[in-house]
Amino acid sequence: MKSKNTAETNETFDKRKYDLQWDKQNTKLIGMKLNKHIDADIFEYLAGITNVQGYLKQLIRDDIARQTQEKSNHT
């Protein structure tokens, strides 16, 4: 995206700065450390997944739904 001057402030729009600020306000990075030897099976499996982030988020959402269903069945 090209930098543009705004008429009111005459400042140049800094997309990189805007993106960093947006990320800080709207996202959170969650890291996971895996051992290359112990977790080799996980690395091998994830290598075949096109969208690892989407895959992991769906696994978590499925687990949330399962737990919610189990709780409602027990009440």
Is 17 inside any structural domain? no
Higher pLDDT, 13 or 8: 13
Containing 59, the helix (H) or strand (E) segment is: helix 52-73
In a domain, 53, yes or no: yes
Angstrom distance (rounded) from CA 54 to CA 58? 6
E strand or H helix at 13, and its extent?
none
The whole-number pLDDT of residue 44 equals 98
Predicted local distance difference test score (pLDDT) of residue 11: 76
List, in order, residues 6 or more apart from 45 with CB less than 8 Å away: none
Locate 9 and state its tokens: 């402030």
CA 71 to chain centre: 27
Q: Is the pTM of this model over 0.85?
A: no
Q: Residue 47 has what pLDDT?
A: 98
4 within some domain: no
pLDDT tens-place string over residues 18-66: 999 999 999 999 999 999 999 999 999 999 999 999 999 999 999 999 9
**Domain contains 45:** yes
The closest of 71, 75, 72, 46 to 59, measured between CA atoms, is 46
| Domain residue limits at 56 | 30-73
- For residue 6, the model assigns a pLDDT of 58
Q: How many domains in the chain? A: 1
Is residue 23 assigned to a domain? no
